[in-house]
Amino acid sequence: MAYSVPRKFPTTVVGSYPKIPPAMDLIKKRRAGEISEEEFRKLIKEPIREAVRDQIEAGIDIISDGEQSREDMVVYFAERVEGYRPGDWVRIFDNVYFRKPVIVGDLKWVRQMIVEDWVYATSISQGRPVKGIITGPYTMMEWSFDLRYGRREELIIELARIIRREVEELVKAGARYIQVDEPALSTRPWREEAELLKDALEVIFKGLGDVKRIVHICYGRLEKIIPYILEYPVDQFDLELKNSNFRLLPYLKEYGYDKELGFGVVDVHTLQVETVEEIKGYIDKLMKMDFIPPEKVYVDPDCGLKRLPREVAKAKMKNLAEAARIAREEW
């Protein structure tokens, strides 16, 4: 089924969606060994179908599988890569805790991790492209304990090789939008850190063929590293902007931003649903700054929607899609 993504202001999502019952139950049962991975894969299709349907109904052009299988963006992958073992509970920020996984041996890709969900979402997307979304090597490194490698330069490249392998599987399956999520980068916004990730992204994206290469980064003092990240071998930065009141935009303009922009226009940390008029106003504001054409602007939420109630998440998507539709007629 052909679906044509609008040329101007296509809409998309960062990736995660509220867990739709029984996704959380299934994750717990799988962890407790009460159901097999095979049963899990079969039963998780229903929540994925619901997440896909919500995005289609809201009018999103480039969708995700809602990450219904993933209880966490790091542990999910650590449990599927050889060389990791589960860790103890640690606090990462505020009241957010997770089981920081431990690297104890040589890291090795052993099996597909996210391809099956991507294939399923694509089969029910009514032709809409589905992003292949994977946690990036910097975030995997920062949110793991390393007892094996020691040198971060080496560790991040090893992680990048594993991600590259999974990305190759996605591309083989037909994915044309590949997004690497790097929320940890903004927690250490320094040149050396940004350059570590640059080398790793080369490993992930080099010679991948005809795919859109995207990096998602959110929160923190990103303006300090913009000149360095603009060197990344990617087509698009997907950025949180609404939550920080679009503070980054003047910096992007100042540094001669020439890539595509995933333009975060709704805050995922507030229950208040931004109105169509408000979102349209943010798009207008960006256009009036006159440094990026509408063809390079992908309208989306700041970050994953997973912590919002489902109806709020859906309402935010719906309004941003409507705002993009109106903007298309004007710009």
Interface with Zn ion (CB under 5 A):
183, 218, 303
d(CA 242, CA 273) in angstroms, rounded, equals: 12
Cβ of residue 222: shortest distance to Zn ion, in angstroms?
11
Query: Order of strands, edge to edge, in the sheet holding 81-85?
Result: 81-85, 102-109, 145-146
Cβ of residue 105: shortest distance to Zn ion, in angstroms?
30
Q: Which is nearer to Zn ion, 163 or 303 (CB)?
A: 303
Q: Which is nearer to Zn ion, 26 or 163 (CB)?
A: 163
Transcribe 125-186 into DSSP letters. Answer: STT--B-EEEE-HHHHHHTSEESS---HHHHHHHHHHHHHHHHHHHHHHT--EEEEE-GGGG
d(CA 268, CA 132) in angstroms, rounded, equals: 21
Cβ of residue 16: shortest distance to Zn ion, in angstroms?
9
Q: Which is nearer to Zn ion, 83 or 189 (CB)?
A: 189
- Give the burial class of 76: count Cβ atoms within 10 A of its Cβ; 0-12 exposed, 13-18 middle, 19 or more buried: middle
Q: Which is nearer to Zn ion, 204 or 327 (CB)?
A: 204
Q: Which is nearer to Zn ion, 215 or 303 (CB)?
A: 303
Cβ of residue 168: shortest distance to Zn ion, in angstroms?
24
Cβ of residue 37: shortest distance to Zn ion, in angstroms?
27
d(CA 1, CA 115) in angstroms, rounded, equals: 21
